[in-house]
Amino acid sequence: MSDTLTPDVIGRRVEVNGEHATVRFAGVVPPVAGPWLGVEWDNPERGKHDGSHEGTVYFKCRHPTGGSFIRPNKVNFGTDFLTAIKNRYVLEDGPEEDRKEQIVTLGNKPVETVGFDSLMKQQSQLSKLQEVSLRNCAVSCAGEKGGVAEACPNIRRVDLSKNLLSSWDEVIHIADQLRHLEVLNLSENKLKFPSGSALTGTFSALKVLVLNQTGITWAEVLWCAAWCPGLEELYLESNNIVISERPTDVLQTVKLLDLSSNQLIDENQLYLIAHLPRLEQLILSDVGISSIHFPDAGIGCKTSMFPSLQYLVVNDNQISQWSFFNELDKLPSLRALSCLRNPLTKEDKEANMTRQLIIASIGQLKTLNKCEILPKERRTAELDYRKAFGNEWKQAGGHQDPDKNRLSEEFLRAHRRYQFLCLKYGAPEDWELKTQQPFMLKNQLLTLKIKYPDQLDQKVLEKQLPAFVMVKIRRILILASGGMVNKLW
Amino acid sequence: MRECLSIHIGQAGIQIGDACWELYCLEHGIQPNGVVLDSQPDQLENAKMEHTNASFDTFFCETRAGKHVPRALFVDLEPTVIDGIRMGQHRSLFHPEQLLSGKEDAANNYARGRYSVGSKVIDLVLERTRKLAEQCGGLQGFLIFRSFGGGTGSGFTSLLMERLTGEYSRKTKLEFSVYPAPRISTAVVEPYNCVLTTHSTTEHTDCTFIVDNEAIYDICQRKLGVERPSYASINRLMVQAVSSITASLRFEGPLNVDLIEFQTNLVPYPRIHFPMTAFAPIVSADKAYREQFSVSDITTACFESSNQLVKCDPRLGKYMACCLLYRGDVVPKEVNAAIAATKSRHSVQFVDWCPTGFKVGINNRPPTVMPGGDLAKVHRAVCMLSNTTAIVEAWARLDHKFDLMYAKRAFLHWYLREGMEEAEFLEAREDLAALERDYEEVGQSF
């Protein structure tokens, strides 16, 4: 890279030995001569200081060891999009065979052409490309105007994750030239937002946008979404997002939203995205959620929130209350749920019971943890649920005779489906509800202590025997000792 | 030219076959009725289709009506499983003559599959095979799908393989076999069936790719978040590996690998032909874009036990040969770098007498996922077939179980009743013991 540092170098993304950073300062740092670049590393522990040197503050970093000064020639400013594609996808020319000379007539003059064959081969290779993966290829800009559109206009899917793009302006320059772009992955880039509004039509064909680990905020997400009228899938993993406002005109076509590993999300923020009309799949893994409420749904009613939600993923969260699943029953379209590795579902011994309770709590569920719920399984689960809470039902006012049935509101709210289960399988009978001690021998044993009255230094023997044996012993002793049985107990 | 005939035997073979042809149809754009999806909006796609049409001739036969019929045969000694295919989603894909079923099954008994019941069906099966072979311009070989533990899968397959060697002596025969899982057992007499079939099939097969249900079960649970994997989930994962192995035969690619090339590069000695299969990356659909898999990531993953489709620890043995079949967005530069990195790792030890060790195949078609499946769509994948001495652990386990049962002559009378003799058991056991010794010998240093 040239040593001349222009002011626009500030804010650019660079790479040094595999580590990515943002340029924050360019200039001289006395007393050492020569130009320096001050960079803030992505990795907060990679640097030596926080932007200040010997008392003078040259630039600011978020972490005390987040910054370093580096010589400009040690830094990789990246390459342009088209060059990166060529580096990766074009096979090197064969040695000399492509260097055939051909004589062509241009106008009146004969002209020698050398190497045209290989050029044409290259060009046809590039124009056929539909899917391009340029992860970690140090792409920092679009390159010369129109270059991409001419060489590889048919690209539909681009992976530009972990590159050196520093702002959305560059992304727009690239996307403008790819009219068929459907899938764009910009994960692990730190992009500045442009000051002006984007050109309309840039992302008109875009269906899938991946922005994992970009540090994007919710406001910025909505801004991006405004440029993508047909967006169907949006991935925002690990961004520390806080949902701050309700999307009104944007994100209305989104079918899949991935918000995993955004630890600052809580259940109240979910209300703000509850009215996206087409949202079918919501991924909330590892967000730290422990409860969810749909207050607008009364007893026996469904909620108006998340009207199209079919598949909910809540793995790796803090769910510890059964009421969570009771609430999920309020979702009108829910068909599939994944809730692995939560405190409530962690016990291996009771995995089966957990599964059954979830199935019974959510009536319309067809798939749980990626396993289809067969009708037989549902039937068993519901019957067990009905029996398990039978006593509570009775205490809450339940009665086999429908006229005398006066269930408390509390019970109805906590067990939304109980009435329905009673209608389906009949109200639980009294004999079903008796809690029986399992007939185990150990519950029937009594302890017998034997003392030797004549030998007081002998230890008292203790034996556990079944009751009927005890009775027999007692009878024999009564007969034998003529009434001195008291000493034996 | 270069056609391959697939024969699916027994319940396991048939169910795997069902998943397998479903995947092939998805990959080639063939609808469940055998017709190729013709309407592509733009010219680029059409050009691509022409390209792919020419190559899938290896697995599909095109009839005059424009239907594409799989070059496959489904055989079982009892009708229930095959009826599933006859009534299933793909019933119009197969010709009725390709679905063969008998009336009484082998009842988990090698002897019935091989001698009493199997012998009644074998001639019909061979006749149908001949018919399919005649439709081929240049038959390359056979792919046999079966399980070791079942009656039909063990007994009938050994009978069939013997007869196939007789009739088609110069053709390659590759097997995809389901090995009995170490801890999950579906039949008590599995060890008997396995030992007997291994003994009689070894000399007729060129290469056997083994998978076991327990390994795939664990993968489904841990990596794909499936709480209780069904056979459908297990088969879907297994056929991804099968598809990678046959991808070169069905699609054009920069570095193709033929059926014969597998043998040449993976089998150092005729009897040492049991490579272990591994597949990477295995990502759940929920985590589609969360983890990135570069070529070096997936190559490293193949050498981890959590990606293997067989339960065995390769660190306890040495590699004799390794075949890496890449598919999708893979560039030769990156492959070379990944392999160089692998060679330098201490945990990957090769035998002294095999310095190079790696065979690479690259195909540009990325893996296809089945709709409603558990796997995420990825840009690139690799299937590794490695011939490692550690696989002897699998045989040792099997032999041990066999010995325990045979010492008491338990369940033996069911086999003797069908006409077998104890001598055959002893012979088979001897053969497996010799196989174990062979493996130990090749693993030794100079």
Could you give the CA distance from residue A139 to residue A111 in angstroms, rounded to a whole number? 37
CB contact under 8 A, A370 and B224: yes
For residue A135, list chain B residues with Cβ-Cβ distance below 8 A. 292, 294
> Which pLDDT score, from 0 to 100, does residue A437 have?
55
Hey, is the C-beta of A309 within 8 angstroms of any chain B C-beta? no
The b/e string for A378-387 (b: 16+ C-beta within 10 A; e otherwise) is: beebbbebbe
DSSP type of residue B266? H
User: What confidence tens digit (pLDDT) does each residue in A198-214 have?
Assistant: 667 788 899 999 999 99
- Shortest CA gap B83–chain A (Å): 22
Could you give the CA distance from residue A306 to residue A164 in angstroms, rounded to a whole number? 37
| Most B-contacting residue of A133, A210, A235, A237 (CB-CB within 10 A), to test interface | A133
Tell which residue, A456, A391, A179, has the closest CA to residue B42.
A179
**C-alpha radius of gyration, chain A, whole number:** 36
CB contact under 8 A, B289 and A258: yes
Tell which residue, A418, A437, A438, has the closest CA to residue A428.
A418
pLDDT of A192 over the 90 cut: no
> Which pLDDT score, from 0 to 100, does residue B445 have?
66
User: What confidence tens digit (pLDDT) does each residue in B424-445 have?
Assistant: 999 999 999 999 999 999 888 6
Measured from the Cβ of residue A30, the count of other Cβ atoms closer than 10 Å reads: 8
pLDDT of B7 over the 90 cut: yes
Hey, is the C-beta of B40 within 8 angstroms of any chain A C-beta? no
For residue B290, list chain A residues with Cβ-Cβ distance below 8 A. 212, 235, 237, 258, 260
pLDDT of A194 over the 80 cut: no
CB contact under 8 A, B225 and A369: yes
Could you give the CA distance from residue A372 to residue A390 in angstroms, rounded to a whole number? 27
Could you give the CA distance from residue A303 to residue A297 in angstroms, rounded to a whole number? 5
Hey, is the C-beta of A371 within 8 angstroms of any chain B C-beta? yes
Under the banding of pLDDT at 50, 70 and 90, the label for residue A464 is: confident
For residue A311, what is the nearest residue in chain B, using CA coordinates?
B286
User: What confidence tens digit (pLDDT) does each residue in A1-59 have?
Assistant: 444 567 778 888 999 888 898 888 888 888 888 888 888 888 888 888 888 888 888 88
Q: Which residues of B are catalytic?
A: 261
> Which pLDDT score, from 0 to 100, does residue B381 have?
94
Tell which residue, A170, A182, A134, A131, has the closest CA to residue A152.
A131
Q: The whole model's pTM is what?
A: 0.83
Cβ contacts below 8 Å, chain A against chain B, sum to: 61
Mean pLDDT score across all residues of chain B = 89
Strand blocks (E) in A244-284: 256-258, 281-283
Scan residues 178-217 of B and list those with Cβ closer than 8 Å to A.
none
**Mean pLDDT of all residues in B193-210:** 94
Which tops the pLDDT comparison, A121 or B107?
Answer: B107
**Mean pLDDT of all residues in B105-111:** 92
End-to-end, the C-alpha distance of chain B in Å comes to: 43
- Give the pair of three-digit tokens for residue A166: 């520093």
> Which pLDDT score, from 0 to 100, does residue A468 have?
66
For residue A185, list chain B residues with Cβ-Cβ distance below 8 A. 289
Burial label, A57 (beta-carbon count in 10 A; 0-12, 13-18, 19+) = exposed
Tell which residue, B177, B196, B212, has the closest CA to residue B310.
B212
| Most A-contacting residue of B292, B293, B362, B370 (CB-CB within 10 A), to test interface | B292
Hey, is the C-beta of A204 within 8 angstroms of any chain B C-beta? no
The answer to whether B60 and B69 are in contact (CB under 8 A) is yes
User: What confidence tens digit (pLDDT) does each residue in A216-233 have?
Assistant: 999 999 988 888 889 999
Hey, is the C-beta of B65 within 8 angstroms of any chain A C-beta? no
Burial label, A266 (beta-carbon count in 10 A; 0-12, 13-18, 19+) = middle
Under the banding of pLDDT at 50, 70 and 90, the label for residue A115 is: low
Which tops the pLDDT comparison, A414 or A91?
Answer: A414
pLDDT of A109 over the 80 cut: no
User: What confidence tens digit (pLDDT) does each residue in B180-191 have?
Assistant: 887 777 889 999
> Which pLDDT score, from 0 to 100, does residue B380 have?
92
For residue A161, list chain B residues with Cβ-Cβ distance below 8 A. 292
Hey, is the C-beta of A133 within 8 angstroms of any chain B C-beta? yes
| Most A-contacting residue of B45, B50, B217, B289 (CB-CB within 10 A), to test interface | B289
Locate all alpha helices (DSSP H) within A91-217, ordered by sequence.
116-128, 147-151, 168-176
Hey, is the C-beta of B440 within 8 angstroms of any chain A C-beta? no
> Which pLDDT score, from 0 to 100, does residue A52 have?
82
Tell which residue, A307, A305, A284, has the closest CA to residue A296.
A305
The answer to whether A372 and A429 are in contact (CB under 8 A) is no
Tell which residue, A379, A394, A462, has the closest CA to residue A424.
A379
Could you give the CA distance from residue A290 to residue A264 in angstroms, rounded to a whole number? 13
Q: What percent of chain A has pLDDT over 90?
A: 34
> Which pLDDT score, from 0 to 100, does residue A197 have?
65
B246: CB partners within 8 A, 6+ apart: B4, B59, B143
The answer to whether B164 and B203 are in contact (CB under 8 A) is no
Could you give the CA distance from residue B333 to residue B344 in angstroms, rounded to a whole number? 17
For residue B285, what is the nearest residue in chain A, using CA coordinates?
A370
> Which pLDDT score, from 0 to 100, does residue A4 have?
52
B260: CB partners within 8 A, 6+ apart: B140, B141, B172
pLDDT of B43 over the 50 cut: no
Hey, is the C-beta of A283 within 8 angstroms of any chain B C-beta? yes
> Which pLDDT score, from 0 to 100, does residue B50 have?
45
- Residue A264 vs residues A217, A261, A321: alpha-carbon distances, Å: 12, 9, 21
Hey, is the C-beta of A303 within 8 angstroms of any chain B C-beta? no
For residue A258, list chain B residues with Cβ-Cβ distance below 8 A. 289-290
Beta bridge partners of A70: A37
User: What confidence tens digit (pLDDT) does each residue in A287-308 have?
Assistant: 999 999 998 888 888 999 999 9
> Which pLDDT score, from 0 to 100, does residue B434 have?
96
> Which pLDDT score, from 0 to 100, does residue A470 have?
64
User: What confidence tens digit (pLDDT) does each residue in A358-405 have?
Assistant: 999 999 999 999 999 999 999 999 999 998 888 888 888 888 877 777
> Which pLDDT score, from 0 to 100, does residue B344 have?
84
The answer to whether A140 and A77 are in contact (CB under 8 A) is yes
- Its ipTM equals 0.82
Tokens 């007393």, located at residue? A31
Burial label, A206 (beta-carbon count in 10 A; 0-12, 13-18, 19+) = buried
Mean pLDDT score across all residues of chain A = 83
Hey, is the C-beta of B64 within 8 angstroms of any chain A C-beta? no
Tokens 């697995």, located at residue? B59
pLDDT of A460 over the 80 cut: no
CB contact under 8 A, A88 and B331: yes
- Shortest CA gap A405–chain B (Å): 39
Burial label, A143 (beta-carbon count in 10 A; 0-12, 13-18, 19+) = buried
CB contact under 8 A, A285 and B286: yes
Hey, is the C-beta of B50 within 8 angstroms of any chain A C-beta? no
pLDDT of B219 over the 90 cut: yes
**Mean pLDDT of all residues in B140-148:** 94
Hey, is the C-beta of A159 within 8 angstroms of any chain B C-beta? yes
Under the banding of pLDDT at 50, 70 and 90, the label for residue B158 is: very high
Could you give the CA distance from residue A238 to residue A235 in angstroms, rounded to a whole number? 10
pLDDT of A106 over the 80 cut: no
Under the banding of pLDDT at 50, 70 and 90, the label for residue A102 is: low
- Whether cis (ω within 30° of 0) applies to the bond prior to B275 is no
Tell which residue, B265, B262, B259, has the closest CA to residue B354.
B265
CB contact under 8 A, B227 and A371: yes
- Residue B336 vs residues A184, B296, B326, B360, B380: alpha-carbon distances, Å: 28, 9, 12, 9, 16
> Which pLDDT score, from 0 to 100, does residue A400 have?
80
**Mean pLDDT of all residues in B23-34:** 90
pLDDT of A96 over the 70 cut: no
> Which pLDDT score, from 0 to 100, does residue A89 have?
82
- Give the pair of three-digit tokens for residue A320: 């510890």
Tokens 């609808």, located at residue? B31
Burial label, B30 (beta-carbon count in 10 A; 0-12, 13-18, 19+) = buried
Identify residue B202 by its one-letter amino acid code.
T
Identify the three-state secondary structure at position B152: helix
Measured from the Cβ of residue A54, the count of other Cβ atoms closer than 10 Å reads: 8
Identify the three-state secondary structure at position A193: coil
**What is the per-residue DSSP string for B118-181?**
HHHHHHHHHHHHHHHHHT-SSEEEEEEEEESSSHIIIIIHHHHHHHHHHH-TTSEEEEEEEEPP
pLDDT of B99 over the 90 cut: yes
- Give the pair of three-digit tokens for residue A248: 């009104």
For residue A371, list chain B residues with Cβ-Cβ distance below 8 A. 226-230
Burial label, B134 (beta-carbon count in 10 A; 0-12, 13-18, 19+) = exposed
For residue B227, list chain A residues with Cβ-Cβ distance below 8 A. 340, 351, 355, 368-371
For residue B374, list chain A residues with Cβ-Cβ distance below 8 A. 370
Least CB–CB distance from A313: residue in B286, B294, B366: B286
**Mean pLDDT of all residues in B128-144:** 93
Strands lying side by side in the sheet with B207-212: B99-101, B72-76, B3-9, B139-147, B172-179, B207-212, B276-280, B380-388, B319-328, B358-363
Return the H-helix or E-strand segment holding A387. helix A375-388
- Shortest CA gap A345–chain B (Å): 12
> Which pLDDT score, from 0 to 100, does residue B57 have?
85
**Mean pLDDT of all residues in B130-148:** 93
Hey, is the C-beta of A415 within 8 angstroms of any chain B C-beta? no
CB contact under 8 A, A210 and B289: yes
